Amino acid sequence: MAKLKSVFVCSQCGNDSPKWLGRCPVCGEWNSYVEEFISKQHLVKESSELSNFIPQQSKPVLLQDITTGDEIRMDTGDRELNRVLGGGLVPGSLVLIGGEPGIGKSTLVLQTVLKLNTYKILYISGEESAKQLKLRAERLEKSNENLFIVCETNLERIFVHINNLKPDILIIDSIQTIYTERIESGPGSVSQVRECSVALLKFAKETSIPTLLIGHINKEGNIAGPKVLEHIVDTVLQFEGDQHYMYRILRSMKNRFGSTSELGIYEMRQNGLREVNNPSEMLLTQNHEGLSGAAIAAAIEGIRPFLIETQSLVSTAAYGMPQRSATGFDIRRMNMLLAVLEKRAGFKLIQKDVFLNIAGGLRVSDPALDLAVISAILSSSLDIAIDRETCLSGEVGLSGEIRPVNRIEQRILEAEKLGFNKIIIPHNNLKGFDTNRISIRIVSVKKVEDAFRELFG
């Protein structure tokens, strides 16, 4: 039996130390060192077990001898996933999908591979049994004759199955449950996640088989395991959403083969995830006519425009201590906008409770929501409804000016497509913009007072 050696490994960057340290000297994190046991034999030389299953084809090649061409991507059959990936799966790529427990990561991957009837797919499940996956596939009402299921967590035996089956696509669910016998620590530890990820990366690159890894997240919302995991993989996708709402957002945090500005929107249903091709119609409610505190914002997430409803409620503080609460919007930015309202526009809200909500359970970081947020707050404070056929887009500065926003033409066209009659935009966005081919009425404003005068008279 190989002798064991105790080492302390940083859970953030993977740096190891022979003794426990309060602060990592590499990444600077506090209390991030955890104790792990590894074999001394592993420290002396690298095991050659995995080399039996991974072909060795690497050799030095001159740069001018390398041929390039258009990368043939695998169509996943999911338009939202294709958009986020940059056009489909790239052969040999390593894709990591992370998200909260129960958000739908496994459902997304399973319903995607069930559509790929032309590829041989190997699904490695370390969390669910084969019967559970079968029940989920029946709930999704899809089937695939080329989908093979293996319930295994040992990396060496996984490579045996891969070598025997020779799949076109590999799925690992999840990377935190996989372990290798070369390391004595348990599955999910920093060393295990790092070693298994490196082995899978070497396999994917040398066999050109795309590999999808499903990853857990910790309580801070980051991918569990060492930070080096996100550096190793080619693409990091974050699956977000609230379990109490039906919408899910797939964001690209890192993508070596495409843009990180794209995002996909899904609706969770009983029979799986449905692609939302036009999120504006889903995020707008039609029953707020005549009600104060609601404003429609023309937002952009990534490079995708959509209209979203911002809701606000302003009431007198009952206990002398005013409350500030925001759902789906940065609370610090809302406090800044409230200060602008008091200082630049003269509206006193210091003794009032202010609640803000982004409809649909989405979290939006586009600064163009500022104008809609302050308009919704003022609408609730004055108890005056905003015209339901008017939408807004603009960033509010500390001096009360309305700053220009990017991709204004896409925002205007989206509002026009959904039947809005008027849109309020920053004045500087009109420079060099041709409005002749647009039928919607465009109102340009320079300060918050101009916007309020247009909305409330």
Asked if residue 389 has pLDDT above 50, the reply is: yes
Q: Kindly report the average pLDDT of the chain as a whole number.
A: 85
Asked if residue 412 has pLDDT above 50, the reply is: yes
Residues 423-432 as b/e (b if ≥16 CB within 10 A, e otherwise) read bbbbbebeee
Q: What is the per-residue pLDDT across 210-251, written as a single tens digit (0 to 9) for each? A: 999 999 887 777 787 777 888 889 999 999 876 666 788 888
Confidence at residue 289, expressed as pLDDT on a 0 to 100 scale: 66
Confidence at residue 210, expressed as pLDDT on a 0 to 100 scale: 94
How deeply is 53 buried, as exposed, middle or buried, from its count of CB atoms within 10 A (0-12, 13-18, 19+)? middle
Name the 3-class secondary structure at 370: helix
Q: Can you list the pairs that 246-250 forms with residues at least 24 positions away whose Cβ atoms lie under 8 Å?
A: 246/361, 247/276, 247/279, 247/282, 247/283, 247/360, 247/361, 247/362, 248/103, 248/104, 248/273, 249/301, 249/362, 250/80, 250/81, 250/84, 250/108
Confidence at residue 1, expressed as pLDDT on a 0 to 100 scale: 45
Asked if residue 57 has pLDDT above 70, the reply is: no
Name the 3-class secondary structure at 294: strand
Closest among 158, 252, 227 to 196, alpha carbons compared: 158
Q: Can you list the pairs that 12-19 forms with residues at least 24 positions away whose Cβ atoms lie under 8 Å?
A: 12/226, 12/227, 13/226, 13/227, 13/228, 14/190, 14/194, 14/226, 14/227, 14/228
Compute the average pLDDT of residues 388-397: 92
369 DSSP 8-state letter:
G
- What is the torsional sign of CA 61, 63, 67, 68? positive
For residues 316 and 352, give the distance between their C-alpha atoms in angstroms, rounded to a whole number: 4
Other CB atoms within 10 A of residue 5 CB: 15
Closest among 231, 249, 272, 230 to 110, alpha carbons compared: 272
Q: What is the per-residue pLDDT across 244-279, written as a single tens digit (0 to 9) for each? A: 667 888 888 899 988 887 788 888 888 889 888 777
Q: How far is CA 340 from the centre of its chain?
A: 31
Q: Cβ contacts of residue 65 below 8 Å, gap of 6+?
A: none
Query: Can you give the pTM of this predicted structure?
Result: 0.74
For residues 250 and 79, give the distance between their C-alpha atoms in angstroms, rounded to a whole number: 12
